[in-house]
Amino acid sequence: MPSYQAPLRDMRFVTDEMFDYPRHYASLPNGDDASPDVVNAILEEGARFARDVLLPINQSGDEEGCLLEGGEVKAPKGFKEAYQQYVEGGWPSLAADPEQGGQGLPPSLAMMLSEMICATNLAWGMYPGLSHGAADALRHHGTDEQKATYLTKLVEGVWTGTMCLTEPHCGTDLGLIKTRAVPVDGNAYAITGTKIFISAGDHNLAENIVHLVLAKLPDAPEGSKGISLFVVPKFMPNAAGNPGERNGVTCGSLEHKMGIHGNATCVMNFDDATGYLVGPPNKGLACMFTMMNAARLGVGIQGLGLIEASFQNSLSYARDRLQMRGLSGKQAPEKPADPIIVHPDVRRMLLTQKAFAEGGRMLVLYTAQMLDVVEHSEPSEERDHAETLLGLLTPIVKAFLTEVGFECTNEGVQIYGGHGFIKEWGMEQLVRDARITRLYEGTTGIQALDLLGRKVLMSQGESLKVFTKEIHKFCKAEADNPALKEFVEPLVKLNAEWGELTMGVGMKAMQDREEVGAASVDYLMYSGYVTLAYLFARAAKQASVSLAGDDKAFYAAKLNTARFYYQRLLPRTKAHAQMIESGAGSLMAMSSEEFGLGFEI
C-alpha cells in the first residue's frame, strides 16, 4: 500500500515565509481565529486524518467500488465511517459562514486540508468536496428560506450536495439541455429529465443529498440564456427540517469508470421531482458558476494532491530499489547494485514530480490568498485586484495542474518499472484517478478558451496586465540581486513575451475567430509555466535569504528545485510559443472528409 506524509514543512514555507499568511490572516475579519497556533493544530490533525483514516481505505475502495442495489447506492467499505469521523471532527464547516453554523476560517485553510485529502483518497474526497460548492451557490443565490432549510445541513456535513449539469446528448454545451421545470403548487416546480456523470449523485454516507439542477422553464429562451437553477433534495425536508418523504430522484445506473471507483458517478433520473428555483429565472448558468468556479479550483488541487502522492512513493521506491551501477562508478559499493535514484533519468522524473508538486502548491496557495480576500473583504481596490487575479488564475490552476498531474503520475509508474504496472503498489491507481481530472468541471480545452478568450481577450488584456505588472515589479526590485540573476533574467523575457503572444493572437483573432481556439491550450500551458517561474523566483529569493539559518538543507533543496525547473521544465515555453504563433492554418485546412481518407468508417 502506498504511504503518505503531509508536506507540512513545505506548506509552512509557502504560507509563512513566501506569502506571509499570518499577516494575511490577521487582516481578514475574524482573522484572530486563524492564529499560527490554531492553523498548525488544524493542519497537523488534518494530516493525521488523511494518513490514518483515508489512506487505508483508498486501495480497497478502488477495488470494491460502489454498488447499486434496489435503487440505492452503497459506497465502499469504510467510506461511511470515515465520513462520520469527518463530520464529527467539524471539518465540513471549517471555512463556512458562522451564520450558517460554520467556523468562519479562511477558505485557504480548507484548501490546504483538501490537498491532503486528495493525496490520500481522491474518490472519498469527492463526496464532501461538492457539498462546499453547493453551499456556496445557495449562500450567494438562495432565498432566506432555502438557506434556512439546506445551508446549515450542508455546512454541518449532515447532508451532501451535488451539481447536475450534463445530459446524455450534451456535454459542455449546456444550452442543449432538455430537463424541464414546470410550475406546480406555490413556488414549487416539477423537474423531469436525466443527468449523467453526476459525482456523488447517490450514496449512503449522509442522510440526505441536495441536488442543484439545471433545467429549462416552459417559456425559456433558446440556448444558454434559457437555463434556470433549482434545488432538488433526495428527501423532502419535513416540518422539523429533517428528511421526510422520498422525492422523485433516483440513480438509474452507475458509470463503470477507469478510475475514482470509490466515488459514485451516477446517471440521475428526475421524474416530476419537486424542486425550487434558485436565483432569477433563466439566470441559472450564472448562479451555477459560483459552484463551478469552486469546483474548478478543487479539481486543480486534486491534480496537486496526486502529484505529491506519486512523488513521495516514487522517491521511497527509488531510494530502495537496486539496479545497475551508477554511470560514474559504484555509489553503494557495499550493495550488489546501486539504488536507482543515482541514475540521471530517474532523477529527471523525480525532480519533475518534485518541481510540479512544490510549484503547484505555491500556485494554489497564492490563488487561495486571492480567494480569502474576495470572500472576506468589503468592496475595495484590493478586493477588485484579488478578484481579477482569481479569475485569471482559476483556469490555470484547474487545467495546468491536472495536465502536469497526469504527467507526474505517469512518471511514477515509470520509476517503478514493471512494479508500477502491478495494482498492489498503488501507482497505477494514481494514473487512473488523475486521468479524469483533465476532463470534469470543464476540459483543458474549455479552461483554455475561458482563459484566453474570456478572461484575457475580452478584457482587452487588462486582467493579464494586472498579473504581469506584479511580475515586472518583482523583477525590477531584484534586478541587482546577484543571487537571483539566473531566475530574474529569463523571467523578464518571458513576462514580456507573454504580452507579445497575447497581442499577436488578439490581432489574428480580429480577422479569424478560429485563431483563439487554435492557440488556447498552448496559451494556457505557456501561462502555467510562466506563472510557476514567477513563483519559483520568489521561492528562490526566500530560500537564498534563509540559507544561513538552521534548516540549510531544506533551503538548498528549494534552490536546486528552482534551478531544475528553470533549466529543464521552463524551456517547454519555447515550443508552446512556437505553436501559438503558427496559427490556425494547419488545424483548419483539412476538411472533415479528409480525416478519414485511407480507411473506411
**Structural domain contains residue 489:** yes
**Band of the pLDDT at 290, cuts 50, 70, 90?**
confident
pLDDT of residue 186: 85
Residue 583 has pLDDT above 70, yes or no: yes
**Band of the pLDDT at 288, cuts 50, 70, 90?**
confident
* Cα–Cα distance for residue pair 391/398, rounded to 1 Å: 12
Reference 149, options 106, 100, 221; nearest CA is 100
Digit-coded pLDDT (tens) for 452-470 = 999 999 999 999 999 999 9
Residue 291 has pLDDT above 80, yes or no: no
Digit-coded pLDDT (tens) for 102-125 = 999 999 999 999 999 999 999 999
* Cα–Cα distance for residue pair 510/223, rounded to 1 Å: 25
Question: Which helix (DSSP H) or strand (DSSP E) does residue 394 occupy?
Answer: helix 381-416
Q: What is the mean pLDDT of residues 35-41?
A: 96
**Band of the pLDDT at 223, cuts 50, 70, 90?**
confident
Q: Half-sphere exposure of residue 424, counting CA atoms within 13 Å on the CB side?
A: 2
Residue 174 has pLDDT above 80, yes or no: no
CB atoms near residue 449 (< 10 Å): 21
**Torsion, Cα of 82, 33, 385, 533 (10° steps):** -60
pLDDT of residue 601: 63
* Cα–Cα distance for residue pair 292/172, rounded to 1 Å: 12
**Structural domain contains residue 496:** yes
Q: Are 452 and 516 in contact (CB under 8 A)?
A: yes
Reference 189, options 165, 167, 215; nearest CA is 215
Looking at this protein, which amino acid is placed at residue 115?
E
**Structural domain contains residue 505:** yes
- Residue 50 grid cell: 488523511
Our count of domains for the chain comes to 1
Lowest mean pLDDT among 226-230, 287-291, 335-339, 446-450: 287-291
pLDDT of residue 176: 83
pLDDT of residue 210: 98
Residue 367 has pLDDT above 90, yes or no: yes
Average pLDDT, the chain: 95
Digit-coded pLDDT (tens) for 9-32 = 999 999 999 999 999 999 998 788
DSSP class of 140? H
pLDDT of residue 217: 96
**Structural domain contains residue 565:** yes
Look up the domain containing 538 and give its range.
Answer: 453-584
Residue 172 has pLDDT above 90, yes or no: no
Q: What is the mean pLDDT of residues 544-562?
A: 94
The share of the chain scoring above pLDDT 90, in percent, equals: 89
DSSP class of 133? H
Reference 200, options 155, 158, 163; nearest CA is 163
Helix (H, G, I), strand (E, B) or coil at 352: helix
The verdict on whether 156 is a catalytic residue reads: no
Q: What is the mean pLDDT of residues 47-63?
A: 98
What is the radius of gyration, based on Cα positions, of the chain? 24
Question: Which helix (DSSP H) or strand (DSSP E) does residue 288 occupy?
Answer: helix 284-320
pLDDT of residue 160: 97
**Band of the pLDDT at 523, cuts 50, 70, 90?**
very high
pLDDT of residue 416: 98
pLDDT of residue 94: 95
**Structural domain contains residue 12:** no
**Structural domain contains residue 518:** yes
Q: Which residues contact 137 (CB under 8 A, 6 or more apart)?
A: 163, 212, 229, 278, 287, 288, 290, 291
The residue from 358, 441, 478, 515 that is catalytic is 441
DSSP class of 330? -
**Structural domain contains residue 407:** no
- Exposure letters 157-171 (e unless 16+ CB within 10 A, then b): bebbbbbbbbbeeeb
**Band of the pLDDT at 599, cuts 50, 70, 90?**
confident
Q: Can you spell out the DSSP letters for 49-77?
A: HIIIIIGGGHHHHHHH--EEETTEEEPPT
Q: What is the mean pLDDT of residues 477-499?
A: 98
Reference 274, options 206, 186, 198, 194; nearest CA is 186
**Structural domain contains residue 185:** no
